[in-house]
């Protein structure tokens, strides 16, 4: 039941730079905000693990504030390991953490074709393709991964923005 609800909740917004689904073996970068009482170390979240199961060859890295602290070019650190493959940027609470918003904006300036997956409450649409999951549970990550791997997106959950 939870997985079905997560699939129904996903909303995809695209611009002129949107990649086509399915993508092939992407590089996934998950921006990990600080843990809190609601989401601790034991809480599974993200898209890297489920996407790796669906698309063999997918690589994933999770970056925290300390990983990008002092970087003169956060985008270079984020893009490290992508090798020109499709790029999936996973954010949670980007509107609450300036380091996430900054790294996301700088990375999208270099790779506007990246897929942005926003886990939790979506605040701003960014990237060529923006996937809002409206939650950060394992089921939400699985639902986003299925879309990226080629599952059909219901028409009522798609919106195109002018490029």
Nearest to 52 by CA among 127, 139, 129, 148: 148
Q: Distance between CA atoms of 122 and 54, rounded to whole angstroms?
A: 25
**CA 159 to chain CA centroid, nearest Å:** 17
In a domain, 38, yes or no: no
In a domain, 129, yes or no: yes
In a domain, 91, yes or no: yes
pLDDT along the chain (163 residues), means of 10: 83 76 87 73 82 94 90 89 91 86 93 92 85 91 92 60 51
Q: Give burial (CB, 10 Å; 0-12/13-18/19+) of 52.
A: middle
- Domain residues for the domain of 91 are 2-33+43-160
Per-residue pLDDT at 68:
87
**pTM score:** 0.88
Q: Distance between CA atoms of 153 and 155, rounded to whole angstroms?
A: 6
Total domains, the chain: 1
Per-residue pLDDT at 61:
93
CATH of the domain at 62: 3.40.50.1700
């Amino acid at each position: 039941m939870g997985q079905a609800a997560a699939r129904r909740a996903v909303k995809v917004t695209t611009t002129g730079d949107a990649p086509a689904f399915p993508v092939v073996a992407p590089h996934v970068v998950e921006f990990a905000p600080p843990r809190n009482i609601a989401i601790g170390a034991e809480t599974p979240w993200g898209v890297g693990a489920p996407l790796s199961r669906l698309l063999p060859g997918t690589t994933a890295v999770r970056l925290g504030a300390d990983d990008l602290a002092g970087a003169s070019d956060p985008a270079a650190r984020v893009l490290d390991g992508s090798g020109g493959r499709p790029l999936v940027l996973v954010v949670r609470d980007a509107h609450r953490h300036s380091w996430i918003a900054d790294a996301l904006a700088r990375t999208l300036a270099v790779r506007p074709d990246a897929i942005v997956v926003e886990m939790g409450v979506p605040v701003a649409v960014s990237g060529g393709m923006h996937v809002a999951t409206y939650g950060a549970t394992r089921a939400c990550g699985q639902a986003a991964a299925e879309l990226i791997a080629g599952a059909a997106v219901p028409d009522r959950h798609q919106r195109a923005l002018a490029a």
